[in-house]
Structure 1
């Protein structure tokens, strides 16, 4: 990078101010993502842009953080340090996942390829989190074998939900409409159990596997109901067009 380029690029403060002035609506966004993850992502995005990191680089950092966290869960087994590090790395990966698009908007480098990479990483990471739970249970706590079954179903369900969301948005956009969701604080709080950030931090409970099993199963049950309702709603909206 030349000195001239470094002088032209705005600093962290300028980038952060730009992001604070141009935030997306919190409509239908779960509480953790809306008020914690997005705020942390703004700081990461401003820092990445100031350092000259590309959106794709931020996406890859997100993937690596998640992969390292999940690897620790499998290799190290249940312990206070492995559970906390796994959860923290997954949560950090989620922050960077929310930051890559903001870096693209800040630097004017949005592209179809970048959006594709972001979605591919999400499509791999989402079910992998649950598959790793199943593997970790089989290796370290085979007495909780039922949890491995729940994790496998969770993985399949998460793929279906991800594809449902992506395809519905694309189909609505192609038909000239706009997706609408309920707004408000109450809605965000009600959606908290479906929040990816909550799922990430639930891995901190892996230090006590039976407790983790109960919380994880509860998250699965809530997400199952939410996914079924969401898919039914999307299908009815699309058939009404």
Structure 2
């Protein structure tokens, strides 16, 4: 009995072209994420597609690379070699984190389980990387105890920023679905705003770990990134509050109009 013909898997170049066509807008994003992480993730997504990997498997590889890097950062001596190894692993983990979503789009769409897994890994990652810095500062650097507050503050700000970003977006989608409202037209911020986001980009932190062998330089650069992230998070929390108040006003107005 003849078998039905199977559709051949697109080649690497075709997969890359398809991924470029489905790429999100680059306007307004942090420069590292747009110009380094997405293109690198695109290559990894195309390779994963050729290898027959699923998005969840790519997420697992991302977690493996990231948390092995975190382990080296926390436990290994603070040398140049350790910094290079950690930076490579964290950059790879971040690129694979981009690749899993791109692979899902290439395969025709992701799953709720995949989205849950991706966000769960991310929520853990954004905290433990800074706790690993705290550990290595305590074990391997000759610093006053007060300096340990820097990675603690960085961990808190990163967690609040990640959770707030996800939650406000979820609340907006739920409100639009409840009120049957169309999605608003997105306006991308300009290049200057994107540059202001650069110090808060996780990829910049990944690259900064290469300086681990130069203790004073690493502490200085990391502290600047921490201050920038804390300041940005405080500002964006104020904006999120305004956004949520606007959503509440929409719901109240809808209920008032429905009661008439």
The separation in 1 between residues aligned to 2:62 and 2:147, in whole angstroms, is 27
The separation in 2 between residues aligned to 1:148 and 1:21, in whole angstroms, is 45
Change (3 A) 1:55 1:14: same
**Residue 108 of structure 1: how far off its partner (Å):** 2.2
Q: Report the 3-state secondary structure (helix = DSSP H, G, I; strand = E; otherwise coil) of the residue aligned with 2:78.
A: coil
Number of paired residues? 238
The separation in 1 between residues aligned to 2:71 and 2:140, in whole angstroms, is 13
Quick check: 1:11–1:50 contact (8 Å CA) kept in 2?
Answer: yes
The separation in 1 between residues aligned to 2:231 and 2:77, in whole angstroms, is 31
Which one is further off, 96-105 or 133-142? 133-142
2:238 corresponds to which residue? 232
Quick check: 1:62–1:97 contact (8 Å CA) kept in 2?
Answer: yes
**Deviation string, structure 1 residues 43-97 (Cα, Å, up to 9, x no partner):** 1111101110110110011111111112112222111111111011111110000
Quick check: 1:169–1:179 contact (8 Å CA) kept in 2?
Answer: no
**Residue 27 of structure 1: how far off its partner (Å):** 3.3
Change (3 A) 1:104 1:5: farther
Quick check: 1:61–1:93 contact (8 Å CA) kept in 2?
Answer: yes
2:137 corresponds to which residue? 137
The separation in 2 between residues aligned to 1:147 and 1:44, in whole angstroms, is 37
Q: Which has the larger radius of gyration?
A: 2
- Calculate the TM-score normalised by the size of structure 2: 0.86
The separation in 2 between residues aligned to 1:6 and 1:17, in whole angstroms, is 22
1:36 corresponds to which residue? 36
The separation in 2 between residues aligned to 1:98 and 1:201, in whole angstroms, is 16
Q: Report the 3-state secondary structure (helix = DSSP H, G, I; strand = E; otherwise coil) of the residue aligned with 2:48.
A: helix
Residue 188 of structure 1 pairs with residue 206 of structure 2: no
**Residue 134 of structure 1: how far off its partner (Å):** 0.5
2:166 corresponds to which residue? 166
Quick check: 2:153–2:230 contact (8 Å CA) kept in 1?
Answer: no
Quick check: 1:78–1:140 contact (8 Å CA) kept in 2?
Answer: yes
- After superposition, where does 1:59-78 map in structure 2 within 5 Å? 59-78=59-78
Q: Report the 3-state secondary structure (helix = DSSP H, G, I; strand = E; otherwise coil) of the residue aligned with 1:191.
A: helix
**Residue 26 of structure 1: how far off its partner (Å):** 1.9
The counterpart of 2:226, out of the listed 212, 220, 226, is: 220
Quick check: 1:137–1:144 contact (8 Å CA) kept in 2?
Answer: no
**Residue 178 of structure 1: how far off its partner (Å):** 4.2
**Deviation string, structure 1 residues 205-232 (Cα, Å, up to 9, x no partner):** 1111111111111111111111011111
Quick check: 1:172–1:178 contact (8 Å CA) kept in 2?
Answer: no
Instruction: Give unpaired runs (5+ residues) of structure 1.
Output: none
Which one is further off, 9-18 or 186-195? 186-195
The separation in 1 between residues aligned to 2:158 and 2:185, in whole angstroms, is 20
**Residue 10 of structure 1: how far off its partner (Å):** 1.2
The separation in 1 between residues aligned to 2:127 and 2:143, in whole angstroms, is 23
Instruction: Give unpaired runs (5+ residues) of structure 2.
Output: 177-182, 248-260
2:203 corresponds to which residue? 197
The separation in 1 between residues aligned to 2:75 and 2:49, in whole angstroms, is 34
